[in-house]
Amino acid sequence: MTLEEARKEFKAAVLAYRTAKTPKEIWEAADQVMQAVNEIDRAWWQRKLAK
């Protein structure tokens, strides 16, 4: 996944978190946000190490 794709995924996860209503939806959305943050970090390091 590229850094740009990871950022799009993060934005979608944040939107899901902001619109979640039940505690279960909030919990799942928060998990998606954390996974997206990890993807951004992974993509950033891949880009950094490729240079």
What does pTM read for this prediction?
Answer: 0.85
pLDDT of residue 27: 98
DSSP 16-50: HHHH--SHHHHHHHHHHHHHHHHHHHHHHHHHHHH
Band (pLDDT 50/70/90 cuts) for residue 8 is very high
Per-residue pLDDT of 20-49, as tens digits, reads: 999 999 999 999 999 999 999 999 999 999
The CATH architecture of the domain made up of 3-50 is Orthogonal Bundle (1.10)
Domain ranges of the chain: 3-50
